[in-house]
């Protein structure tokens, strides 16, 4: 059975792989294609006598099937990411006992805004632990090598002193107040004051608030993409987007809250506006009656 640290690293690798799958999902592009196919089919069947027949024919189109498949994969990946995040938090509970860095990381992970921030915190924790293990091994190796050398120097010094005393029968006592250098207890010189011993690692203090990058929402968040679209198109209002997407205010608000299904017609219209497939124009203003 793997130790908690080894299992934590395995969970982190799985989370990174799932996040890459989420980034490669082409749900938005397929949504635009399905919307275009729906518009062409609607023109072909106009007037539409039977809405169910229209929906059945639309569901049989390749564009619609690819879109639904991408939506299904997107949901599966998002659920897998959520499970991995929960498993990582549970695993850290076993690791953090007596480990200050793990305690800080556990708190930061609970407050992470998205997967990117979550992975960044895990990387910092892993780098800190790897550095600690590496320094500990190097310190043990230096101690193992220096001990025989120190013992050899001590034996050589004693042999020289014995030979000198044998050659000179008159023994001169050391002067009062003089000190004879003493070898270290185990042959390893003690570290100088103020220097860090091997194994001591300084961990950067946890920030009081997430950085600007960590505070951004995930790419699939409707509110985040809506805000990004309005920043890229200054002067655009919610009324303009609702007008171009041909949706009412209640439906638009449901989409912002994530209550609309990703494969619904209304969602597809709004996504088409945000992706640039629909030309951006201002909503005509109502003229006042005189």
pLDDT band at residue 62 under the 50/70/90 scheme: very high
| Least confident interval from 83-92, 173-182, 207-216 | 207-216
In angstroms, rounded to a whole number, what is the distance separating the alpha carbons of residues 90 and 106?
A: 9
Domain ranges of the chain: 4-128, 222-274
The per-residue pLDDT for 212 is: 35
The per-residue pLDDT for 22 is: 84
- The gap from C-alpha 102 to its chain's centroid, in whole angstroms, comes to 16
Q: In this model, does residue 200 exceed pLDDT 80?
A: no
In angstroms, rounded to a whole number, what is the distance separating the alpha carbons of residues 232 and 238?
A: 14
Give tens-digit pLDDT for 30-58.
888 888 888 888 888 877 778 888 888 88
Instruction: Measure the CA dihedral 101/105/106/111, to 10°.
Output: 150
In angstroms, rounded to a whole number, what is the distance separating the alpha carbons of residues 93 and 76?
A: 26
For the chain, the average pLDDT equals 75
**Which tokens hold the place of 260?**
């609309």
Give tens-digit pLDDT for 88-127.
888 777 766 667 777 788 888 888 878 888 898 888 888 8
Give tens-digit pLDDT for 241-269.
889 889 999 988 998 888 888 888 888 88
């Amino acid at each position: 059975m793997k130790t908690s640290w080894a299992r934590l690293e395995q969970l982190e690798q799985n989370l990174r792989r799932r996040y890459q799958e989420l980034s490669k999902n082409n749900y938005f592009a397929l949504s635009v294609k399905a919307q275009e196919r729906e518009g062409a089919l609607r023109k072909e069947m106009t007037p539409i006598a039977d809405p169910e027949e229209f929906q059945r024919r639309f569901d049989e189109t390749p564009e619609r099937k690819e879109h639904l498949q991408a939506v299904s994969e997107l949901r599966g990946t998002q659920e897998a990411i959520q499970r991995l995040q929960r498993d990582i938090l549970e695993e850290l509970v076993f690791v953090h006992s007596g480990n200050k860095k793990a305690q800080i990381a556990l708190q930061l992970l609970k407050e992470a805004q998205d997967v990117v921030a979550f992975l960044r915190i895990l990387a910092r924790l892993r780098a800190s632990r790897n550095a600690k293990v590496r320094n500990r091994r190097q310190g043990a190796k230096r101690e193992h090598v220096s001990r025989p050398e120190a013992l050899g120097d001590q034996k050589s010094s004693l042999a020289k002193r014995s030979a000198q005393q044998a050659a000179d029968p008159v023994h001169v006592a050391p002067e009062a107040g003089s000190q004879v250098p003493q070898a270290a207890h185990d042959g390893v010189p003690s570290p100088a004051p103020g220097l860090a011993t091997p194994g001591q690692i300084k961990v950067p203090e946890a920030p009081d608030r997430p950085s600007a990058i960590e505070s951004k929402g995930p790419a699939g968040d409707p509110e985040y993409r809506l805000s990004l679209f309005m920043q890229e198109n200054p002067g655009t209002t919610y009324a303009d987007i609702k007008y171009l997407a041909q949706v009412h205010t209640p439906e638009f608000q449901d989409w912002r809250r994530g209550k609309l299904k990703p494969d619904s017609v209304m969602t597809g219209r709004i996504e088409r506006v945000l992706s640039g497939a629909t030309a951006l124009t201002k909503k005509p203003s109502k003229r006042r009656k005189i």
